[in-house]
Amino acid sequence: MDDFFTLPEGFLWGASTSAHQIEGSNTGSDWWAFEQAGLTDRIEEPSGDACDSFHRWPEDMDLLAGLGFTDYRFSIEWARIEPSPGRFSSEAVAHYRRMVEGARERGLRPMVTLHHFTAPLWFTERGGWAAPDSGDLFARYVEAAAPVYGEGVDHICTINEPNMVAVMAAALRTLTAGGSLPATSLPLPDEAATEGLVRAHRRAVDTVKSYAPHVRTGWSVANQACRPEPGCEEQAAAYLHPRVSVFLEAARGDDWLGLQAYTRTRIGPSGPLPIPQDAERTLTGWEYDPQALGAALRHTAATVPGTPLIVTENGIATADDDRRIAYTTGALADLAEAMAEGVDVQGYFHWSALDNYEWGSYRPTFGLIAVDRKTFVRTPKPSAAWLGAIGRTRVLPTASS
């Protein structure tokens, strides 16, 4: 392979955020309620004002555009748009519409995510995704949000990491029944929630297409980048099937499929293996593994051949920005190699644009841009300028660079 790889014209080059993690004061969502109740000891602190991006989104977009990014993935908040069943906020819809227009004015192509982990509290209290009519309720919200995405939006992600949403449903069932979660593992995705999420995705795709046929729709799956030990390929496939593969397979026929990768899961004869004691870990406790992205791309492409892929999240929680650049350099080299092999990748979004609320704590810093927790002052890190510059040159590092 050459010492450089040039991205094709039109390749999406951006950073990602989610509404609850950056907006602040999302008081109508189920996650806000979980935080206030201290539902699990994994919630170290509440989200509070987050990054105050509900008000400061123009500054966030100005920074990304100025750094060289051409795309911005952000989510709209269901709990703000439909704060009570069947009652919709015109102000919230207008707010998110202004964000779409603001992105376009700055030369950023918006990718809009319709659901990023959080739902209205009323939706979760009545059964969430496992409820028989969850797909109908989600479609009703997507219809109400049509003014947001009807013009100026080319890509919509219906649901972010549905496999993790189904895991959360299983965890919530355990916690509300008085049980506790193991410290080092997560439950299997809830089967009823899995079925409900697949139905909701299909209903959302149909709804979006009915209002905006031009919009390219898909959803984003957390691919766990399994690395089987020799002879453990069957165990890896069995491990991945309910956790990842069923969600990838549900995307057959979609315009695109998003994948999100951060670290690897090593699989032995009896299942997942512990992280080696001498391995470098990130602030989330995950193993430092830039090659997870390449493994996830190849697995996803093999599972759903012919479906275009978009990397909707990839990044590292670290306080050392040099390690962020090193990690991302390795991940992008693997991305370039996979594309050179023929994997159809149409975009890359780094997680995250901002240091933000990471579902229980502000301690893991994934951001390209630091945010002062008291003043909300934004300070781009060297990694932001480095990664943004690739958006201008469209030249990726490679393993031989």
DSSP string, 48-114: TTTT-HHHHHHHHHHHHHHHT--EEEEE--HHHH-SBTTB--HHHHHHHHHHHHHHHHTTPEEEEES
Q: Kindly give the pairing relationship between strand 271-272 and strand 265-268.
A: antiparallel
What's phi and psi for 344, nearest 5 deg?
-85, 90
Determine phi and psi for 244, rounding to 5 degrees: -135, -55
Q: What's the alpha-carbon Rg for the chain, to the nearest Å?
A: 20
Element (H, E) at 257: strand 257-260
Helix, strand, coil fractions of the chain, as percent rounded to 5: 40, 20, 40
Contact present, 122 and 29 (Cβ < 8 Å): no
Q: Indicate which residue of 35, 77, 82, 161 is catalytic.
A: 161
Angstrom distance (rounded) from CA 244 to CA 223 = 6
> Of 393, 388, 392, which is closest to residue 368 (Cα–Cα)?
388
Q: Is beta strand 395-397 parallel, antiparallel or unpaired with respect to 226-228?
A: unpaired
- Phi/psi of residue 30, nearest 5 degrees: -65, -35
Helix (DSSP H) and strand (DSSP E) numbers for the chain: 15, 15
Q: Which two tokens stand for residue 225?
A: 């980048």
CA distance 158 to 112: 8
Alpha-helical runs (H) found in 130-190: 134-144, 146-149, 162-176
User: Does the N-terminal peptide bond of residue 29 adopt cis geometry, omega within 30 degrees of 0?
Assistant: no
Helix axes 53-67, 90-105, angle to 10 degrees: 20
Dist CA 162 CA 307 (whole Å): 18
Whether 161 sits among the annotated catalytic residues: the reply is: yes
Catalytic amino acids? 161
